[in-house]
Structure 1
C-alpha cells in the first residue's frame, strides 16, 4: 500500500468519527477512536511513539511523541482546537523530517465539517 491510499483511509476514518461523534471531544478521545478505526481497516497503528532527535553530536532519546504513525508511512497529528495556526503545519513538516516519513496529516476535529480540519503535509512525496 502507498501513502496516498493510506491517506484516503485515514481521511475516511476521520470523516466517520467526526460524523458519528461530532466536534469538541478531547484529543485523547479522537486519538483512541482513530486508532480503533484504522486498526479495524487492517492498518498498523502506533500511538504516542517516542521519536529521538539528533542535533550535531547530541542524541535526545525523546524529542517528541507522534500522535499516530500509520503503517510506518504516515504521521497523523491530532488537534481539537479553535483554529490551526501556521506553526502547526511547520511543526508537522519538522516531525516528518525527523522521522524520515513523507506524508503527514494534521486533523483538527474541532470544526463544523471535518473537510475544513484536514491539512496534508508532504516531505518529498510526489
Structure 2
C-alpha cells in the first residue's frame, strides 16, 4: 500500500472519529479512537513509537515519540489546539527527517470541520 493510499484511509478514519466525538476532548481520547478505526481497516499501527536521535556516535533513546506510525510509512501527529503553530510543523518535519519517512499528517481535532484541521507534509 502506498503512502497516498494510507493517507486517504487515515483521513477517512479521522473524519469518522471527529464526526462521532466532535471537538473538545483530550488528544489521548482521539488517539485511542483513531487507532481503533485504523486497526479495523486492517492497517498495522504503532502507537507512541519511540524515535531516537542519533548524533555522530551516540544514540539518544529518549528522543521523541510519534503519536501513530502506520505501516512503518506514514507519521500521524495529533493535536487538540486552537490553531497550528510553526512548532507543530517543525515537530512533524523533525519526525519525518529522523525516521526517514516520506509522508506525515498533522491532525487537529479541536476544529468544527476536520478538513480544516489537517496538514499534509511530504519529504
Output the TM-score relative to the length of structure 2: 0.97
Aligned residue number for residue 112 of structure 2: 112
Greater CA drift, 67-76 or 84-93: 84-93
Aligned residue number for residue 47 of structure 2: 47
Greater CA drift, 50-59 or 23-32: 50-59
Output the TM-score relative to the length of structure 1: 0.95
Q: Deviations over 1:65-100 (max 9, x none)?
A: 110000111000000011110221121011101011
SS at match of 2:83: coil
Q: Deviations over 1:18-73 (max 9, x none)?
A: 01110111000000001000000000010011111111222101210110000111
For structure 2, the residue ranges without an aligned partner over 5 or more in a row are: none
Aligned residue number for residue 97 of structure 1: 97
How big is the alpha-carbon RMSD for the aligned residues of Structure 1 and Structure 2?
Answer: 0.7
For structure 1, the residue ranges without an aligned partner over 5 or more in a row are: none
